[in-house]
Amino acid sequence: MYSSTLIEIFKAFSPKEIKEFEDFAASPYYNKNKNVTALFNLIKEEYPDFTKGNLTKEKIYKKIYHSAKYNDGTIRLLMFYLQEAAEKYISVKNYEQRPFCYDEHLLWGLNEKNLNKMFERSYKSAAKKFNSGNKRYAEYYYKKFTIEYENLSNMSKIYFDRDEKYIHKVNIPEIFDNLTHSYIIRTFKYYLYYLNTKMKFNLHHKFKVFEELIYTHKTEDYENVPLVNMYYYCLMMTLRPDAEENFFKAKKLLHDYEDTFLDEDYVEFYINLENYCKRKAKIGKLEYQNELFEIYNAEIDKKAYMYRGMMPDLFYKSVVDLGLRLKKYDWTKKFINQYKHELPEQYRENTYLHCLGVYEFTIDNFEKSLELISKVKFDEIYQKLDIKCLLNALYFELKLDSTLESSMDTFRHFIKNDKLIPAERKEPFSIFNKNLSKLVKLRKKPDAEELELFHDNISSGNFYNKEWLLSKLNSLIKQNKK
């Protein structure tokens, strides 16, 4: 029983939820089987560790049914009923925590039972709640639509076939607008998710209707719904990256209306601003590195990076990478140590070692860097690419040529055979590997003409760790001239 879904559910419950569920399971409205309650009480005795060994089906059966002969079907059915009650509790609790759900369902019920005076009072109360908050999000507009639409339905029923009696009491354009805003926000949001995922992995889908909706969008029509325009600008930063004005409009809009967005929305907006800056910097627009540093600092100040109470490891690594690129070494070292404890526990040590290894590499402590990087157990595909390239750079710096040649060959086969990473995402790593191989050969047999030609060939290119490789090539050129 310890490996059952039922136990997994109760392991996930907080102490407060265990107490609440005890009351829930004791309610005859949700559970009329006293043996289900008895089973829960036995399980509760082992919460939260579940290591006492008393939850075998045979022991439970004996405690509940005493002298009766063990029946596996009976105990399985009891477990099923208790799991069903636990699922009901999760559903009810989630319902209670979602804004405006209670008002929405109450109005539906009152309307259905023709309790029109109660409906009117409840509708006014719900409308007041909507107007009191400042947060605006897709679910807000949809719930507002459902409540306003239910009011329209109630009026239509009361004044059946006498539209002139109530039509001035409801705002039909507002009802339509709320539904439209909800739809557009969700559409833009999920299409943006698709575009960002498409850039990371080999995905190809057609969303013709969504694309038509995006390209016919007019921001002036949604000046009073900044969330719609914010998602639109984020989409445009992805679809039309050369139109840089969308970045600055998005940045200003986020600054002006951040307090009206839910955390999950403004975190996503920061991520899209980050990604745009990274893409621009990769193609040589280095001024966007300073824009990115400004965005990171804003996120750190406001803890906008938080996800389930933690700092995502990818955010941590990105901040470190940028700090080192901008040669803010003291600031970066302080960040690495100060925010380590906020990383997800399962990734904490690997991420910390990885970033500290990159820091030591950047300040030319190569042996220390190799020691740290050798301890990293990578479990994410892009982290694997980063570390492979870093290890190869370390082997070059430490003149471990035989190890380097073997590692570059292995890396070449890995890039070639992987089917998940899109070709355009593989290319910067593949070019780095080829250029490093060329650099190794030139270090062994330097030739002035070949060195200059190689420098000209890679100076205008775009590949992983270009700055480091160019610095090594420039050093070789200087040495050869001497």
Both tokens assigned to 417: 């055979």
Give the number of C-alpha atoms closer than 13 A to the C-alpha of residue 139, restricted to the C-beta side.
10
Share of the chain above pLDDT 90, in %: 66
Region 42-58: what's the mean pLDDT?
89
Given a cut of 80, is residue 199 above it in pLDDT?
Answer: no
φ, ψ for residue 223, nearest 5 deg: -65, -25
What per-residue confidence (pLDDT) applies to 66? 87
Highest mean pLDDT among 84-88, 214-218, 447-451: 84-88
Report, as an integer, the average pLDDT of 414-421.
83
Q: Among 386, 406, 393, 414, which Cα is nearest to 472's?
A: 393
- Please report which confidence band the pLDDT of residue 197 belongs to, taking 50, 70 and 90 as the band edges: confident
Residue found by looking up tokens 């301890």 in the block: 375
pLDDT at 463 over 90: no
pLDDT computed for residue 2 by the predictor:
66
Placement of tokens 């991520």 in the chain: 271
CA torsion 12→16→21→26, rounded to 10°? Answer: 150
**Kind and range of the H or E element at 371?**
helix 366-373
Global pTM exceeds 0.85: no
In one-letter notation, the amino acid at residue 405 is E
Residue 52, pLDDT score: 84
pLDDT tens digits, 362-397: 999 999 999 999 998 877 777 788 889 999 999 999
Kindly tell me if the per-residue pLDDT of 163 is higher than 80. no
More confident of the two residues 132 and 372: 372
Q: Which residues contact 362 (CB under 8 A, 6 or more apart)?
A: 324, 329
More confident residue, 194 or 141: 141
Question: DSSP secondary structure string, 17-80?
Answer: HHHHHHHHHH-TTT---HHHHHHHHHHHTTTTT--SS---HHHHHHHHHTTSPP-HHHHHHHHH
For residue 337, give the H/E element and its range: helix 329-338
Residues 314-365: pLDDT tens digits? 899 999 999 999 999 999 999 999 999 999 998 899 999 999 999 999 999 9
Residue 203: both structure tokens together: 């995905």
Is the pLDDT at 104 greater than 90? The verdict is yes
Q: Are 5 and 43 in contact (CB under 8 A)?
A: no
Most confident of 147-151, 198-202, 462-466: 147-151
Q: Domain locations in the chain? A: 5-97, 101-170
> Is residue 458 within 8 Å of residue 470, measured between CB atoms?
yes
Q: What is the mean pLDDT of residues 194-219?
A: 79
Could you report the per-residue pLDDT of 258-274, keeping only the tens digit for each? 999 988 898 899 999 99
Q: Name residue 336's amino acid.
A: I
What is the maximal distance between C-alpha atoms in the chain?
98
Secondary element (H or E) of residue 440 = helix 423-444
